[in-house]
Amino acid sequence: MKWLVHWFEGFLLVTIQGTAPERFLNLCRGREIEVWRLKAGPEGCEGYISVKGFRDSRELLKKSGARLKIRKRFGLPFFLYRNRKRKFFFGGIAAAAVLLYVLTFFVWDIQIEGNQRYSDDSMIHYFEDQGIFCGMMKKNVDCDELESSIRSDFPEIIWVSARVSGTRLFVSVKENEALSSIPVPDTEPQDIVAEKDGVVTSMIVRSGVPQVSIGDTVKSGQVLISGLVPITDDGGNVTAVHGVRADGDITARVAVSEERSYSGLKTVEMATGKERKGLFLKAGGIAVQILLPAEKGTSWKISMEEQQLHLTDHFYLPFWWGTIRAKEYVTYERLYTAEEKEMLRKKMEQEFAEKIMEKGVQIEQNNVKILENDQGFSIRWEAVVLESIGAGRPIEEIPVIEENEEN
């Protein structure tokens, strides 16, 4: 920081000549004239002094009998003086300053915070529909209107704040974490049927008539709890049938299996170590990629990092830059090794166990085998699990019982 102040004010490299340069240095210290990076040499003492310090030191030079010989000049005042005839250079600097000033009138970055249900892309797309986009003038951004339109068009967003800071538009939202409406329970009559084949291990019936009992073997599609409740008279005759919405939890022991086949040959990608590096520049809608061309018939993986140019945290500009890195790779096929097969087996076991557990299903038995065949090999996963198999099926027609009146 001090260096910057010196550079703006201008400073000099001087040689202090005379019989007693120490006296001059002590006088400078007393008058608070800064002299730095002093080096004693055969011609005298060499050091740096600010332009203001140089001007103020005339009296001190007389007093101490020393002389200052200017060796070199540094800083902005001297730079401007040296380049005073370079009109285009200063014109360019002025034009750049004007351009920067003009760019501050526009929005060049939109930041959205707090959105979880709605992605950034969908929000930005919505903003575009509302006439808010990167590159528009800041004065045309009506934050209040944007806030109210977000609130009305996104019922899940309960709080929103939009503000323009520098050349960036910040939109903060708070989404409703609770349900926005209470779901209306369906009262249409239904049966509970089995989704899978299995043996019933537990039953809890909340409504309807159970059709099976614990220990029964059931088939997929079989009615487990009937939604048709018969009404009987004193003689035990069915006089009417009422349709209800059958409800209950039925757990069954179910055998599940899954198989994945592999060709036996594994495609391996290996990096050759060759790399190409390039540059990516984008200004407004024009993008340029600078990357040396690759040899024909070679494969490359290309990754790119994009950054937006910004002078401060809030002064973003419509320029993007980034580095491109391409890595050459070759592919070949080879047979799976025993370790790799074992790894695949373990991976499959883990994946399925996680998938099953997510559904709240309990595993009783678990077995994963590698089966060799002519085409390659396959991994077979077999398990016996305890899972809820009941699913609702609407009752299309409720039978009507005709009463036989006996006179």
Partner 1 sequence: MGRRIRAAAVDTLKLPRDVVLGETVISMEGGSVMVIENYRSILLYETGRIKLLARNGKVLVEGSGLQIEYYDEESMKIIGRIRKIEFQGI
Q: Which residues of this protein are in contact with partner 1, per CB under 8 A?
A: 21-22, 25-26, 29, 32, 34-42, 45, 47
Residue with Cβ nearer partner 1 (46 or 216):
46
Residue 259 to residue 381: CA distance in whole angstroms: 6
Residue with Cβ nearer partner 1 (23 or 276):
23
Residue with Cβ nearer partner 1 (25 or 317):
25
Closest CA to 135 of 318, 311, 405: 318
Residue with Cβ nearer partner 1 (37 or 84):
37
Name the minimum Å distance from CB 47 to partner 1.
Answer: 8
Asked if residues 399 and 264 have their Cβ atoms less than 8 Å apart, the reply is no
Name the minimum Å distance from CB 80 to partner 1.
Answer: 27
Q: Tell me how crowded residue 189 is: count the other CB atoms within 10 A of its CB.
A: 20
Name the minimum Å distance from CB 38 to partner 1.
Answer: 4
Name the minimum Å distance from CB 35 to partner 1.
Answer: 8
Name the minimum Å distance from CB 62 to partner 1.
Answer: 19
Residue 134 to residue 137: CA distance in whole angstroms: 9
Asked if residues 147 and 162 have their Cβ atoms less than 8 Å apart, the reply is yes
Q: Supply 282's token pair.
A: 């984008």
Residue with Cβ nearer partner 1 (42 or 285):
42
Residue with Cβ nearer partner 1 (24 or 336):
24
DSSP symbols for 212-258: --TT-EE-TT-EEEESEEEEE-TTS-EEEEEE-B-EEEEEEEEEEEE
Sequence-ordered list of residues with C-beta below 8 angstroms from that of 143, at least 6 positions apart, any chain = 162, 163, 164
Name the minimum Å distance from CB 33 to partner 1.
Answer: 10
279: number of CA atoms within 13 Å, CB side?
5
Residue with Cβ nearer partner 1 (37 or 85):
37
Burial class (CB in 10 A: 0-12, 13-18, 19+), 118: middle
- Three-point CA angle 300, 303, 307, nearest 5°: 155
Please tell me whether residue 23 adopts helix, strand or coil conformation: helix
Residue with Cβ nearer partner 1 (32 or 374):
32
Name the minimum Å distance from CB 44 to partner 1.
Answer: 10
Q: Supply 266's token pair.
A: 């594994």
Q: Tell me how crowded residue 246 is: count the other CB atoms within 10 A of its CB.
A: 28
Residue with Cβ nearer partner 1 (40 or 95):
40
